[in-house]
Amino acid sequence: MTKPLVALLSGAGVSTDSGIPDYRGPNGLWRRDPEAEKLVTYEYYMSDPEIRRRSWQMRRKNRTLRAEPNAAHLAVAELEQSGVPVRVITQNVDGLHQLAGMPARKVLELHGSAQSFVCTNCRARGPMEDAIARLDAGEEDPACLKCGGILKSATVMFGERLDPVVFGEAVAISKACQVFIAVGSSLQVQPAAGLAGVAADHGAQLVIVNAEPTPYDDRADEVIREPIGTALPKLLCKVSAKSDASR
C-alpha cells in the first residue's frame, strides 16, 4: 500500500518565528503601514522612481535574506526525509523550506523568490545579494547591466499574474493529495487560497493551522489555533505515524 501524498500550503505565519513579519495578521505589515503595499505593487513600482528607491531600501533592510529556518520548516523537511511523499506549495518568498532541507523540486513557490532579482525588460536574473551590493556601493535604483531595464525582486508583485506553470502544478498536487495542510495562511489571497477548496473537493483530509479564522475553516476536517512552531511538528508526527500504519 503506497503512503498518502501530503500537500502543505504554507503562508507568512510559518516564517514569523524566523523573524519575518507577516502581512495581514494583527501586527502585519499592511495593517501597520498601508502605504508599504505600494512598494510591492507592479504599476506603482514601474512608473515611479521614488517608489523603486524606497522598495530597494526595504529590500536592503529586509531580514528575509538573513533568516534561518524555524521548527515548522524543519518539521516539514523531516517528514519528507522520513519517506512520506510531501509537496510544499508556498506563498512565501523566503526560500526557508529549501534551506531547512526540502528538495527544491518538491517546493512550488507561488509568489516567486526574494533570493533573486529579475529584469522587467530582458528577464535576466541574478542573486539578490548582487543587487544589494550595488545599493551598498551607492546606487539607489540599480538598472539591468545587460539592457538597462528596470530590475525588481523575482517575486510576484500585486498586479502581476502567478506563473501559470507553477500554479498548474499546485492545482494538480491539490487534486491528487490525500492530506492537505494549510498552515500560517489567511486563505484570503486568491487563487492560492482556493487550493484548499480544490483539495477538499477531491476528497483530501483538510487541516488548517492558523492563529485567526479563515474562509475555509468550515470545510476543514480539523482546525488548529495553537502556535505554529509547536502545533505543526506535533501534527506532522501524527501524519507520519498514520502514514507508517498505512503501509
What is the CATH classification number for the domain harbouring 226?
Answer: 3.40.50.1220
Mean local confidence (pLDDT), 112-131 = 95
CA separation for the pair 223, 216 (Å, rounded):
10
Give the range of the structural domain holding residue 173, as residue numbers without chain letter. 1-20+69-111+162-247
Do 136 and 235 fall into the same domain?
no
Least-confidence region, from 29-38, 100-109, 121-130, 165-174? 29-38
Q: Please write the tens of the pLDDT for every residue from 55-67.
A: 999 888 876 678 8
Do 232 and 170 fall into the same domain?
yes
Do 188 and 219 fall into the same domain?
yes
Of 155, 185, 213, the residue that ends a domain is 155
Do 191 and 224 fall into the same domain?
yes
Which residue's entry shows cell 479564522? 213
What integer pLDDT is reported at residue 66 of this predicted model? 81
What integer pLDDT is reported at residue 23 of this predicted model? 59
CA separation for the pair 81, 171 (Å, rounded):
24
Q: What is the largest CA-CA distance in the chain?
A: 60
**Phi and psi based region of residue 185 (left: phi greater than 0; alpha: psi -120 to 50; beta: remaining):** beta
Give the chain's domain count.
Answer: 2
CA separation for the pair 242, 236 (Å, rounded):
10
What DSSP string describes 114-167?
A: EEEEEETTT--EEEHHHHHHHHHTT-SSPBPTTT-PBEEEEE--BTSPPPHHHH
* Positions marked catalytic: 111
Mean local confidence (pLDDT), 196-215 = 96
Cell numbers at 59, concatenated: 529590500
Do 197 and 208 fall into the same domain?
yes
Do 221 and 175 fall into the same domain?
yes
Phi, psi (degrees; rounded to nearest 5) at 227: -55, 135
CATH number at 45 reads 3.30.1600.10
Mean local confidence (pLDDT), 106-119 = 96
Do 81 and 133 fall into the same domain?
no
